Structure 1
């Protein structure tokens, strides 16, 4: 696809429209990023950067639509670090407030953090963030089984990092887990 067709061009053009319906924007972002995530060898880092710029600049996408698009890009380890380190992505992910969001947004946030937890470098960078506090909040407030299971899996993945273990203990996650 790299040499044959610029698949991303029409969808990026669509995402660039200001008067775009939110449903259409979310679906266009999902389709574009799903193809990139499933066929990463057919897309360059420049294309991914262009897609990320469009996603972060597009006010037509909903919070859920943006998280789903980011999740699609994070599914492949080929672009995981590139996506995480792109300016604004980590902030967009961590701005989710589990207490105030609907179930699908909380689940997608958990899913994104779960995918990021498989990369040792990215996980180490999460120490300074509020990810552990958000996981605790999900375990305390949210009763969606899928989100809770993902959060427990993320905690298991985080146990391999001493600094994150300290954050887990200090934030009182044990008490939240015991209440499940």
Structure 2
């Protein structure tokens, strides 16, 4: 029923409420319709809420695919969602975004890598920190701290100290 609201011609407010419901009741079956909303400036943030909560690889895949076509704040939002989901398969994608000309996108990618907090993301952040522009350096440093905190939470003190 909630998926039908998203796929129909319901007003944006109704679609936003459907997204809210899918954050609780959504499954991989709802991912395709939610992914269609990621390019809608009015509904993208609403669509990301259930995509962040739905377990399984379908939501991760949809968010990664969305990065190929989105720009600006819509892209930043999707990158943030990837970080919240801690999608380790997105490390290479995010590492490439560290060199984005838009410092806000590059910073979002750094923070997402920090949230993922695995060895691959730590390696990317350690490489990026000395190369980062002055505008990006604070974001990469913050991401390094997030990554170190994740290592500590996972009982990997040596890795935390290394970053």
What TM-score do the two structures reach when normalised by structure 1?
0.50
Q: What RMSD over aligned residues (CA atoms) do the two structures have, in Å?
A: 3.5
- Does residue 6 (structure 1) correspond to residue 21 (structure 2)? The answer is no
Aligned partners of 2:50, 2:30: CA distance in 1, in Å?
9
Q: Is the 8 A contact 1:33 1:70 kept in 2?
A: no
Residue in structure 2 matching 1:94, options 67, 87, 98: 98
Aligned residues: 126
- What runs of 5+ residues in structure 1 fail to find an aligned partner? 16-23, 141-147, 165-180
Local SS of the residue matching 2:34: helix
Residues 46-67 of structure 1, C-alpha deviations (whole Å, 9 max, x = no match): 33213321x1332xx3233112
Shift of 1:113: 1.7
Q: Is the 8 A contact 1:11 1:28 kept in 2?
A: no
Pick 1 or 2: higher relative contact order, CA cutoff 8 A, min separation 6: 1
Q: Is the 8 A contact 2:31 2:58 kept in 1?
A: no
More helix by share: 2
Q: Residues 1-180 of structure 1 correspond to what in structure 2 (within 5 A)?
A: 1=25, 6-14=29-37, 25-37=40-52, 39=53, 42-53=54-65, 55-58=66-69, 61-77=70-86, 80-85=87-92, 88-91=93-96, 93-97=97-101, 101=102, 106=104, 109-118=106-115, 119-121=117-119, 122-128=121-127, 130-134=128-132, 136-138=133-135, 148=138, 150=139, 152-154=141-143, 156=145, 160=160, 162=162
Residues 73-94 of structure 1, C-alpha deviations (whole Å, 9 max, x = no match): 21133xx313324xx3432x21
- What runs of 5+ residues in structure 2 fail to find an aligned partner? 1-24, 149-159
Aligned partners of 2:145, 2:62: CA distance in 1, in Å?
34
Aligned partners of 1:31, 1:112: CA distance in 2, in Å?
21
Aligned partners of 1:27, 1:131: CA distance in 2, in Å?
35
Structure-2 change in CA distance of 1:10 and 1:120 (3 Å): closer
Shift of 1:2: 5.3
Aligned partners of 1:31, 1:156: CA distance in 2, in Å?
29
